[in-house]
Amino acid sequence: MDFITLIQVLDSTIRLTTPLLLACLAGLYSERAGIFDIGLEGKMLASAFLSAAIAYVSGSVWLGLLAGIAASVLLSALHGLASITFRGNQLISGLAVTMLAQGFTVLVAQDWFQQGGRTPSLTGAGRFTGITLPFADALEPVPVIGPIYAELISGHSILVYLAFAMVPLTWWILFRTRFGLRLRAVGENPAAVDTAGISVTGLRYAAVLICGVLCGIAGAYLSTALQAGFVKDMTAGRGYIALAALIFAKWRPWHALWSCLLFGLLQAVALRFQNIDLGGIVIPVQVMDALPYILTVVILAGFVGKAIPPRAGGEPYVKER
């Protein structure tokens, strides 16, 4: 494999990691606060659809992004209502959110655009385009550093940079701020938070809403940056892969980055090398495409070390008698 191919695969890794990373960090906020969320997939899907639809109609990708975030936050609020206020089962509620999004997006897309459940292709200001960082052109001819800077680091959309910047920011919020301390506490022992005079409900809603915003950005990225429009089920299980990455990362921001990069790399490799010929044995493309999902199953089956989730995760908070 030559240098340019390597750069291209890594470049593609970054693009494919971005939605996973955003969704993974979204899940991190929610689960650190004790609310399990298997509805990441649904929220991304709803946002992917609505952001593409609004971006197409308005011609502004920023309006599309806002609409996508709004859709995702709405579903988050629904999940919060079910699992925080009404103390319902968080898995069922998350599943319901995803199923709702899967059905509604196609239905509404068909009703609005009559294109078989997709949105029309986005062009121009309806899409996020790459940003060329300063000196990228000037540096390009420089060997090694040039391609790395110009191809790999420069030229991504703003959402990519945002996603990667969210990693240190999330770490800082979680471990250096009052909000982070309380957020982590409420996922471990909500009774400790309650007796310290802080609202458990308020904190958990805050976490769930942050989760909604991040999922919204992830979804909008899929349909307005990575692709140019919404197609049915375009999230393709990324919400679940993000959850697997979160468990793999043991609910820590920097680890989340590495595990999302791993999944992104697998997806990029599958895209780039369709059939791999290993001296007579050809690994078919389907095997490559399946790799991220196989890794997901392996991680969820607990083969990769023991991951201890936040102790109060999945449990509605009820004051004990």
Partner 1 sequence: MTAPAIELKGISKSFGPVQANKDISIRVRPGTIHGIIGENGAGKSTLMSILYGFYKADSGEIWINGNETQIPDSQAAIAAGIGMVFQHFKLVENFTVLENVILGAEDSGLLKPSLARARKSLLNLAQEYGLNVDPDARIDEIGVGMQQRVEILKALYREAQILILDEPTGVLTPAEADQLFRILHRLREEGKTIILITHKLREIMEATDEVSVMRRGEMVATRTTSQTTPEELAELMVGRKVLLRVDKAPAQPGGKVLEIRNLHVRDEKGVERVKGINLSVRAGEILGIAGVAGNGQSELLEVLGGMRPGTGEVLLNGQPVELVGANGRAIRDKGIAHVPEDRQREGLIMDFHAWENVAFGYHHDPAYNRGLLMDNAALRADTERKIEKFDIRPADGWLSAKNFSGGNQQKIVVAREIERNPDLLLVGQPTRGVDIGAIEFIHKQIVALRDAGKAVLLVSVELEEIFSLSDRIAVMFDGHVMGERLPDQTDEKELGLLMAGVSGPREATA
**Which one among 132, 176, 202, 282 touches partner 1, defined by CB under 8 A?**
176
- 198-257 residues near partner 1, rule: CB under 8 A: 198
Instruction: For the CB of residue 194, give the shortest distance to partner 1 in the complex, in Å.
Output: 7
Decide: 97 and 78 in contact? Cβ < 8 Å: yes
How many residues lie near partner 1 (CB under 8 A)? 23
- Shortest spacing between CB 175 and partner 1, in angstroms: 8
Apex CA 276: angle with CA 271 and CA 280, to 5°?
Answer: 165
194/197 Cα distance (integer angstroms): 5
| Contact status: 169 vs partner 1 (CB under 8 A) | no
The label of the residue with tokens 């109060």 reads: 312
Name the one residue in this structure whose structure tokens are 């910047």.
165
- DSSP labels for 68-101? HHHHHHHHHHHHHIIIIIS---HHHHHHHHHHHH
CB of 301 to partner 1, least distance (A): 19
Q: Which of 112, 161, 171, 179 binds partner 1 (CB under 8 A)?
A: 179
Comparing CB distances to partner 1, the nearer of 1 and 319 is 319
Scored b (16 or more CB within 10 A) or e, 150-166 reads bbbebbbbbbbebbbeb
Helix axes 61-80, 40-58, angle to 10 degrees: 150
Asked if 321 interacts with partner 1 (CB under 8 A), we say yes
Taking the C-alpha atoms of residue 230 and residue 247, their distance in angstroms, rounded to an integer, is 29
Could you say which of 196, 281, 301, 318 contacts partner 1 (CB under 8 A)?
196
What is the footprint of partner 1 within residues 253-312 (CB under 8 A)?
Answer: 311
Q: Least CB distance from residue 80 to partner 1, whole Å?
A: 20
Name the site residues for partner 1 (rule: CB under 8 A): 176-182, 184-185, 188-189, 191-198, 311, 319-321
